[in-house]
Amino acid sequence: MKIYIVINNESITGFKKCWGLSFFIDFNNNKLLFDTGCCGEDLIFNLKKFNIEITSFKDIIISHDHWDHTGGIFSLINIDNKRRIHVGEGFSKKFAFEIESRGAKIERDSSCRKILNDIYISDELTTNMREQVLILDNKDETIILAGCSHPKIEDFAKNVFNKFNKELVIIGGFHMFSLSEQEIIKRINSLKKLNIKKIYPLHCTGELSTKLLTQHLNTEIKKAGEIIEI
């Protein structure tokens, strides 16, 4: 399995960085994209830098309806509109209509469902923002890909662990950048109760949160332009 970090706030030399997140996943002979970052131009540039053919994937999953995760969608559809866009019930109907008017197909659902072989989208959780995560059910572990984790990454992780009962690898934005150290430690202690194999904090996790996660959990820091192989 290879997970390409296409868009993130920080990048390695030669790749563009921008606020947002996007992953390209190559798993079980399936190719798909999770989130599209904030800018179509940067998304296309980094995909090409990875030598990823823009037409090689048809399934695109959008975690939640924020500009830094939806910004590249129309650039992809303009290149190839034979796409299946997976969103939750909380996704803007107006935005979904604009996608469909360009020829792509919207799959809207708030429940946990299988979309490809060993690939699932989680239940849509809700706080101030409705959001879903992508789940890759690998042989020895379950991988969670999160956009921003507005409804708390530990709640997503608990639900996924209860369903699949395997060690967890968690990759993505954890939206802890505005929290105090005390609040972050409390959140980390909740994560430590779960069977977490490894964690990759990106995007909106925050500098202090990333530092504390590194102290308490098996953590690795990655940037756009890098590949996570599992």
pLDDT digits (tens, 9 = 90+) for 64-78: 999 999 999 999 999
Which domains are seen in the chain, by residue range?
A: 2-229 (3.60.15.10)
Residues with Cβ < 8 Å from 139, sequence gap 6 or more?
none
With cut-offs at 50, 70 and 90, classify the pLDDT of residue 85. very high
Q: Which pLDDT belongs to residue 106?
A: 96
Strands (E), the chain: 2-7, 22-27, 30-34, 59-61, 84-87, 105-108, 113-116, 119-121, 125-126, 130-131, 134-137, 141-146, 167-173, 196-202, 227-229
Q: What percent of the chain has pLDDT over 90?
A: 97
The pLDDT of 10-37, averaged and rounded, is: 97
The chain-wide mean pLDDT, for the chain, equals 96
Q: Which pLDDT belongs to residue 127?
A: 80
Confidence check: pLDDT of 99 > 90: yes
H or E segment and range at residue 67: helix 67-70
The pLDDT of 126-150, averaged and rounded, is: 94
Q: What are phi and psi of 98, to 5 degrees?
A: -65, -35
The pLDDT of 134-150, averaged and rounded, is: 96
Strands (E), 35-83: 59-61
Q: Which pLDDT belongs to residue 128?
A: 77
Q: What are phi and psi of 182, to 5 degrees?
A: -60, -45
Q: Which pLDDT belongs to residue 119?
A: 98
The pLDDT of 145-170, averaged and rounded, is: 96
169: nearest Cα among 193, 195, 149, 150 = 195
pTM to 2 decimals? 0.96
pLDDT digits (tens, 9 = 90+) for 106-133: 999 999 999 999 999 999 998 878 999 9
pLDDT digits (tens, 9 = 90+) for 202-222: 999 999 999 999 999 999 999
d(CA 161, CA 138): 13
d(CA 92, CA 195): 34
